[in-house]
Amino acid sequence: MLERTGKRLLLRTDSTLTRGAYRVRWHTVSTEDGHALEGEFSFGVRAAAGGSEHALEQSPLARGGWLRIALRLLLYVALLPFAAAILLPVLQRRERPSWLAPSRFASAWPEQAHAAVERERRVTGDLAWLSVGAAAGVTLADAADAAGRVSAAGLRDFLFTGSSGPARIALVLALLLAALLAGRSQRISAVAITVALMGLAASGHAASASPRAPSIVNDWLHLLSGAVWLGGIAMLVLVWWPALRSGAGELRTSLAREVLPAFGRVAVPAFVLAVSTGAVSLLVQLGHLDALWNTAYGRVLLVKIVVVGCVAAVSFTHARRLRPRLMAGAQSVVERRHWQLLRSEPLVGIGVVGAVAALVAFPLPPRQLADTDEAVAARPACDPCPLPRPAGDELAVAERAGSHVVAGWLRRDSRAGSRGRCGYSTGAVGRIARRCKYRTGARPAAVRAACASVRAKLEARHGSAGLEAELEATDGTGAPQTATGELAEVRQLRA
């Protein structure tokens, strides 16, 4: 039975712990960002602790993590270009016919412009519903990971306990609204997309970072700018590439003159904002620069940084080096390289969102792990940690067990007949003293008789003063001292 007091959990076992080694496996879910964390530790009762020392599972692939990463990747691949399709017309203040086919281009190439607008509408609709489905799939997968299985009760607890659940609900509902209004109400759908991206930021690691609100806002701006930059590039390629492969050279030149520069005026500031907010997130999540290469999380983040640099280099090459030459009437080799580089940007961008999907799957980033370690290290050092001193009416019934210290006390309780307390401490589990309480199921008369028998034997051996000394021996050694022969009298108290 578990009881919670603040950030402390109290475990009451159903029965007394008999002699032997025990392993505790634990699984927790953050109410701030919804990430699950698990680990295990061992201890022993009058026996060596079995198994290894305290273990913490930090792999993003744990518990079917590959599926969660794949769903996140699908969500980002669909959401970023969908968000760009909704936001870019607002940012460029273009309503007709499209930001992908501005009026000057449409007047020169009306047939191709109409085909591009129709293709944009179909692609946007497909991406919209794919985003909704992927967001719902991510939420279900995270809920199943938190609960350990797929269940309605687990989904309810995950969505309505803490702040991460409502953020995920807002993400799905806002995407649904944007999908329904895409092509009908430009401004309302743009607001819905920004709300969806805020929900995505509030359900990630930024929600458990410190300070929380600025971290969420920074992550939200990072997602917005990344959607405009990377998503806009993806929409350009998805809509225009079929026509570019078979179209005339004049069509490609007109696109390079009318469409790409207008997009660049929005994409360049978006790229600068994405890099700036990404640098802030790096400091917030890592804490120290050396974590970038010393931790698994940092190495995945380093891959993301390298791939972003590759996309930026490709964009600079075709926009600043090749396009001016193309506008000046360069040979076909320059034109071919220009469009090949543009087409490759979304493919390289998939590497960026793949790294992001893997980063989100980590239970904790390095800075939060370091904060936990520092909090543990701030406690008084002890090896072993001294256990609480038994009260005058309590009898110690266990002692040091292997690499752990386990102690138990038995005392009379008029309501339940008997009550036991056990506590243990160890240097292996962060040097934190831990305690748990349990009730025995023995009959009150048997408990009183056993307690009286053990006390009488100890008094006969040591006298009253000696008995008090026995009960208070935990203060200096951390392990209660009892006569081994008297433990047999207490074993009948098992539930």
pLDDT for position 81: 95
Which strand ranges, in their side-by-side order, compose the sheet holding 20-29? 20-29, 36-45, 55-57
DSSP state of 322: I
Look at residues 300, 163, 169, 278 and name the one whose alpha carbon lies nearest to residue 224.
278
Collect contacts of 429-435 with beta carbons under 8 A, ≥24 apart: 429/41, 429/53, 429/54, 430/54, 430/376, 430/379, 431/376, 431/379, 431/381, 431/382, 431/383, 431/385, 432/376, 432/379, 432/385, 433/385, 433/386, 433/387, 435/10, 435/388
Q: Is the dihedral of CA 425, 429, 435, 440 positive or negative?
A: negative
Distance separating alpha carbons of residues 224 and 175, to the nearest angstrom: 14
Residue 474 structure tokens = 């935990």
How many helices (H) and strands (E) in the chain? 18, 10
> Taking a C-beta distance cutoff of 8 angstroms, is the pair 90, 224 a contact?
no
Residue 422 structure tokens = 């056990």
Q: How far is CA 183 from the centre of its chain?
A: 34
Within 161-259, residue ranges assigned H as helices are 164-181, 186-202, 212-226, 232-246, 249-258
- Residue where the block lists tokens 């005339």: 248
pLDDT for position 58: 74
- Tallying the residues shown for the chain, one arrives at 495
Going by DSSP bridges, is the β-strand pair 36-45/55-57 parallel, antiparallel, or unpaired? antiparallel
Q: Can you give the pLDDT of all 495 residues of the chain as single tens digits?
A: 566 666 666 777 777 777 777 788 888 888 778 888 788 877 777 666 665 556 777 778 888 889 999 999 999 999 999 999 999 988 887 656 788 888 888 888 888 888 888 999 999 999 999 999 999 999 999 888 888 888 888 888 888 877 888 999 999 999 999 999 987 888 899 999 999 999 999 988 888 888 889 999 999 999 999 999 999 999 999 998 887 777 667 888 888 888 888 888 899 999 999 999 999 988 888 877 888 888 888 899 999 999 999 999 999 988 888 888 887 776 678 878 888 888 889 899 999 999 999 988 888 787 776 655 554 444 444 444 445 555 655 555 444 333 344 445 555 444 443 344 333 333 322 222 233 232 333 334 444 454 455 455 545 544 544 433 333 333 233 333 333 333 343 343 333
> Taking a C-beta distance cutoff of 8 angstroms, is the pair 282, 355 a contact?
no
Q: Give the number of C-alpha atoms closer than 13 A to the C-alpha of residue 274, restricted to the C-beta side.
A: 22
Residue 242 structure tokens = 């079929």
pLDDT for position 330: 62
Task: Determine how many CB atoms are found less than 10 A away from the CB of residue 176.
Answer: 18
Give the start-to-end residue ranges of the domains of the chain: 2-58+378-493, 65-362
β-sheet bridge partners, residue 9: 4
> Taking a C-beta distance cutoff of 8 angstroms, is the pair 112, 106 a contact?
no
Task: Determine how many CB atoms are found less than 10 A away from the CB of residue 491.
Answer: 12
Distance separating alpha carbons of residues 123 and 107, to the nearest angstrom: 23
Furthest C-alpha separation in the chain = 110
Distance separating alpha carbons of residues 210 and 187, to the nearest angstrom: 33
Residue 320 structure tokens = 């600043």
> Taking a C-beta distance cutoff of 8 angstroms, is the pair 74, 360 a contact?
no
β-sheet bridge partners, residue 405: 400, 425
Q: Is the dihedral of CA 375, 379, 385, 389 positive or negative?
A: negative
